Amino acid sequence: MNTSKNSKSRFIPFSDCISRMPVWLLAAVILGLIFLWKTTQNAEYSVILSAVAKGIKTTVWVSAVSYFFALLLGLLFGLMKTSSLRVIREAASFILKLSAAFPCL
């Protein structure tokens, strides 16, 4: 039987990872979990957390939709730049240069 110091425990998962973790980090994680549990059990905080969750959901939805439309517009103007018609190519160049002139907000 191998009883070396570096052998992993079969009974406690992640025991080697926890043994190498600094004590202050382990204490911070435990205190964070206690704080999270206490705040989710409070009725007033549950209203606040549900409003925050709704805001995060809205933000992710708006970001996904805007990314999709930006991808479509970029593809459209990129294809317009490869057109053989000079009017379409110049219009795409004008729009792309105009959009590059605005700073990212």
Domain extent for 74: 15-101
Q: Is residue 3 part of a domain?
A: no
Q: Which pLDDT belongs to residue 20?
A: 77
Q: Is residue 37 part of a domain?
A: yes
Q: Residue 94: helix, strand or coil by DSSP?
A: helix
Is the CB of residue 16 less than 8 Å from the CB of residue 8? yes
The string of DSSP letters for 20-71 reads HS-HHHHHHHHHHHHHHHHHHHSHHHHHHHHHHHHHHHHHHHHHHHHHHHHH
Q: Is residue 1 part of a domain?
A: no
Q: Is residue 10 part of a domain?
A: no
Q: How many domains does the chain have?
A: 1
- Residue 102 φ/ψ region, left for φ over 0, alpha for ψ in the -120 to 50 degree band, beta for the rest: beta
pLDDT string in tens for the chain (105-residue length): 455 555 555 666 666 776 777 888 889 999 999 998 888 888 888 888 889 999 999 999 999 999 999 999 999 999 999 999 999 999 999 998 888 888 776
Q: Which pLDDT belongs to residue 62?
A: 98
Backbone angles phi, psi at 72, to 5 degrees: -65, -45
Q: Which pLDDT belongs to residue 21?
A: 74
Is the CB of residue 57 less than 8 Å from the CB of residue 49? no
